[in-house]
Amino acid sequence: MILVTGGCGYIGSHTVVELAKAGEKELVIVDNLSNAKEEVLDRIRQIVPVRLHFYRVDIRDEEALDNVFSLNPIDTVVHFAGLKAVGESVQKPVLYYENNISGTLHLMKTMQKHGCKRMIFSSSATVYGPGNEPPYTEDMPTSATNPYGWTKVMQEQILRDAAAADPQLCVALLRYFNPIGAHESGLIGENPNGIPNNLMPYICKVAAGKLEKLHVFGNDYDTCDGTGVRDYIHVVDLAAGHVQALNYIQKHPGVLTVNLGTGRGFSVLDIVKTYEKVSGRKIPYVIDPRRPGDLPICYANADRARELLGWTAKKTLEDMCADSWRFTERNL
Ligand code: NAD
Ligand code: WQD
């Protein structure tokens, strides 16, 4: 059986749907609900028939986690649970190291105790740091510019070391680029509390009339229109990549490191224009100074995912914006 940590969250919930669509009839979810709501589980059940065994458990709680493994024959973990806000990680580094690193260590100890040998881990394009030139390939050196990014670099290292020590361990380090969009049903998506840090949730709140205007962070980068360029990937494509990665690691012990991106970059203003087109809403914006720590351009080389997993992103920028808007209209 598969355990999904952080399965009530944005990417986790979409991955649960894709796993169920791929034939998993029963799944275990562990989430402390620090950044999600339990009602997501009912939404998932409305999309796809699946039995979900939910435990409101913090993965740092070793005893509670051990109990989950004792009650369920878990052979695979898809590990999303973690804190992810870059700015907050600079303000609260200890919280981030404690939650993300200790959480992963506890999870691995519990897996080891119960003989669970497969792990898919949510890494990030952030591990390419500022020293590499895009498109990013998986063999580039890793680094980070903030505590959140360092937690990803460190967790990758921990998992590589664990796999080196145990030849039966099968690990996938999936480096996500910029996930946006929502399930086409409009039932699940991303709806952060408070003022969003990331571009798409911010645009959604402007479109819904909850925020007045978008602040575009810099228009003096060396890019097509001066605004930052990113590799935006539809969250459903990203979720499907997990199913493919799972198929792969079942046959290949060791560590698979793979980018999940489209291989194509779009600017902030590309997103604004496409969102306006598909939603019919105006997105007013002002140009602000650059956000400290932002790179001008970030996009993947997506060859390895295609070659090893047979996976490529299928959805267009229009799909991403239209699905984000549908979720916004129905839920915000
Ligand atoms: P999310 O916040 O929506 O999901 C994370 C989930 O984990 C939440 O439901 C939260 O309640 C839960 N959680 C956090 N700490 C926990 C703990 N100690 N114990 C149990 N549950 C805990 O975030 P997401 O966007 O779905 O991201 C999922 C993973 O992917 C994260 O590890 C994140 O760092 C990584 N990632 C996200 C992005 C992105 O842009 N969204 C990009 C790259 C990598
Ligand atoms: C995208 C573009 C901004 C907000 C972050 C993390 C990264 C990964 C994905 C987890 C940039 C611009 C943004 C706004 C703007 N997460 N922008 N106005 O920074 O590429 O990546 O999320 O691993 O680690 O750093 O994503 O959505 O914040 O920004 O102009 O209000 O939009 O400058 O060019 P980012 P983002």
Residue 60 CB–ligand 1 contact under 6 Å: yes
Q: What phi and psi values does residue 85 have, to the nearest 5 degrees?
A: -90, 115
122 and 79 in a common domain: yes
Ligand 2 midpoint to CA 290 (Å): 11
194 domain-assigned: no
Q: Mean pLDDT per 10-residue run, the chain (332 residues)?
A: 98 98 98 97 98 98 98 98 97 98 98 98 97 97 97 98 98 98 98 92 97 98 98 98 98 98 98 98 98 96 98 98 98 88
- Is 47 within a domain? yes
| 150, 180, 199: residue to mutate for ligand 2 pocket, most atoms within 8 A of CB | 199
pTM above 0.75, yes or no: yes
The CATH number of the domain holding residue 268 is 3.90.25.10
Q: Count of H helices and E strands in the chain?
A: 12, 14
What is the structure's pLDDT at 92?
Answer: 98
Give the distance (Å) from ligand 2 centre to CA of residue 84: 12
CA distance 316 to 270: 12
Domain assignment present for 218: yes
Nearest alpha-carbon partner for 263 in 137, 156, 133: 137
**Angstrom distance (rounded) from CA 220 to CA 269:** 13
My answer on whether 146 and 8 are in the same domain is yes
- 9 alpha carbon to ligand 1 midpoint, in Å? 6
Residue 309: strand, helix, or coil: helix
In a domain, 256, yes or no: yes
**Both 155 and 116 in a single domain?**
yes
Q: What is the pLDDT of residue 295?
A: 95
Residues 27 and 166 in one domain: yes
Whether residues 165 and 285 share a domain: the answer is no
The sign one gets for the Cα dihedral 218, 147, 180, 200 is negative
> What is the per-residue pLDDT for 193?
83
User: How many domains does the structure of the chain reveal?
Assistant: 2
Residues 295, 156 share a domain:
no
Which of 239-242's residues contact partners 24+ apart within 8 Å by CB, and which partners? 239/11, 239/14, 239/15, 239/17, 239/18, 240/18, 240/311, 241/174, 241/305, 241/309, 241/311, 242/15, 242/18, 242/19, 242/78, 242/120, 242/174
Residue 190 falls inside a structural domain = no
Same domain, 223 and 240: no
On whether both 251 and 274 belong to a single domain, the answer is no
Q: Which residues are catalytically annotated? A: 148
For residue 211, what are its two tokens? 């925020």
Domain membership of residue 193 (yes or no) is no
Which pair of tokens denotes residue 93? 């580094």
Instruction: Give me the domain span that covers residue 296.
Output: 199-229+264-301+316-331
Specify the CATH number for the domain of residue 138: 3.40.50.720
